[in-house]
Structure 1
């Protein structure tokens, strides 16, 4: 066989093979590669969107946590204010009750003092009448009168 003819037949077979590969094999392979590249690009885009969504969610979580902390601090401050108000009200009520009890005790003490004065006045009047009666029964004597007045003074 001739070397030129072999080379010529091999080139024709090669060209036919190249045409068959270009016509029937190459388009599906390229389609698969393009589809794979598209899928990879979509996956990367989805990953970027996921990262952005995750960052946005992280920001929302931080904002929610901050608002929850603020609300908690506000509630604690309100509770402390209410507790202080209740304590002040209790103190005011206790002070009012103490003032009322003190006023009542003073009134009772004044009543007792008045009663004691009245009793003393009646006793003094009785003793004065008794002393005058004794002075009038005896004869008029300055020394005796002085003794009676001293005795009357010690009894008062």
Structure 2
């Protein structure tokens, strides 16, 4: 039974040894251990705060990047729309200019054709008048080559003039 119930002397020396170890630990080791634990706890808390701050910064940067990307897409769409509109406007302007130029050329061609037609008609009239004069001259020469024919013609003219 002695093993189960220790003696008073043993308990006394164990308590004295424990108190000496406790005193030595509290005097020399307790403060540095507690200081090291506090420093470790503070460094862990600081690391956690830094990690949380970095996480928030990453979220902010990600949101900024997404915002910039959305703005870039909008700007790209706007530029493409403007380019398409400008291209369509240029094509429409060129088409309209070509139509106007074609219409102007058609009008000029019609005017030129009309001018040429009038010139041809005038030339034909002049040629007809010239030919008529030549024919009349030849007929008159033939008829007037004879004195009797001249007198008969003069008499006919006098009768026509007096009748009118």
Determine whether 1:104 maps to 2:108.
yes
Deviation at 1:132, TM superposition (A): 4.8
Counterparts in 2 of 1:42-61, with a 5 A limit? Answer: 42-61=46-65
Tell me the residue number matched to 1:27: 31
Partner residue in 1 for 2:21:
17
Runs of 4+ with deviation above 6 angstroms:
none
Query: Within 5 A, what are the aligned runs for 1:41-120?
Result: 41-120=45-124
- Bigger relative contact order, structure 1 or 2 (CA pairs below 8 A, ≥6 apart): 1
Which of structures 1 and 2 has the bigger CA Rg? 2
In the comparison of the two structures, how many residue pairs are matched?
136
Aligned counterparts of 2:14 and 2:133: Cα–Cα separation in 1? 171
Normalization by structure 2: what TM-score? 0.72
Which segments of 5 or more consecutive residues in structure 1 lack a partner in the other structure?
Answer: 139-156
TM-score between the two structures when normalised by the length of structure 1: 0.75
